[in-house]
Amino acid sequence: MSLHLELGSAIEAAFGDDLDSPVEQKQDALIIRLKNGVTLNVCYAAPDAYSLRWVYGDGDVELGIDTAPLHPGLSTFPNHFHDLDGHVAADPITRSGALPQENLQKLVRALLDDPLLGAGNIPDATAN
């Protein structure tokens, strides 16, 4: 079974009630739509090679975590977080080399709690 198929099944099993629609399988990615307005694009090549990008709301808010080895000064190198302003910071959620299912479930759980991962204020309309 392909990694993306396994990840999609794991997310549907763990977060079915929080999904806006079934997980979409693309050729080299997953699209996960959460009921809170987050659309997450998941590209996993290996446990230490991934790109997790999401938009929030109408798509004007875009953030991401990836493992491109471009920021050796960060404590979480190679993985890093792209915030609202386009700045790069240490990754607050995933761990390079961890099981993909573990990283993805941690991220989805965090995005359900705070779609911006602390990088800004969430509009009142999405507050619980």
Task: For residues 61 and 5, give the distance between their C-alpha atoms in angstroms, rounded to a whole number.
Answer: 27
Q: What is the pLDDT of residues 26-68, one digit of tens each?
A: 989 999 999 999 999 999 999 999 999 999 988 778 999 999 9
pLDDT in tens, 80-105: 999 888 899 999 999 999 999 999 99
Q: Which of 76, 88, 7 is nearest to 48 (CA)?
A: 76
51: which 2 tokens? Answer: 């790109």
For the entire predicted model, the pTM comes to 0.88
pLDDT of amino acid 79: 92
Show the domain range for 70.
3-118
Instruction: Assess if residue 25 is contained within a domain.
Output: yes
To which H or E segment does residue 70 belong?
A: none
φ, ψ at 44 (rounded to 5°): -120, 115
Question: Residue 124 domain-assigned?
Answer: no
| Residue 32: closest CA among 1, 7, 62, 63 | 7
**How many structural domains does the chain have?**
1
Determine the pLDDT at residue 120.
57
